[in-house]
Amino acid sequence: MATLKTSIALSREELSVAKKAAEAQGLSLSAFLSSLVREHAAQEARFEAMDHYLQRFAPRFRLSERARAAVEAEWSAPLKPIRPKRRRAA
């Protein structure tokens, strides 16, 4: 896969946290951030699939307002970062 170089702006604290997390995972900062982006995209795809499923099949089921509100709150909550899988040491 071809890579492109770009610049991003992070606070000192955010950059420090990212570097420490990458090091803990045995990854470069670029590899760590790339894995987070891929995981985020995969999570978004799962949410889209779930939404599509519910739109297709949920009309058969009646959710209480409380249950519907709970589902909507869960889906609209900010995504939590997903830690990438740790590489095995050679």
| pLDDT tens, residue order, the chain (90 aa) | 788 999 999 999 999 999 999 999 999 999 999 999 998 898 888 878 877 877 787 766 677 788 878 877 777 777 666 666 666 665
What is the structure's pLDDT at 54? 77
How far, in Å, CA of 58 to CA of 84, rounded?
A: 33
Fill in the DSSP letter of residue 18.
Answer: H
What is the structure's pLDDT at 30? 94
Q: Which two tokens stand for residue 18?
A: 């990212």
Q: What are phi and psi of 8, to 5 degrees?
A: -135, 160
* pTM of the predicted model as reported, rounded to 2 decimal places: 0.61
First to last CA, the chain: 23
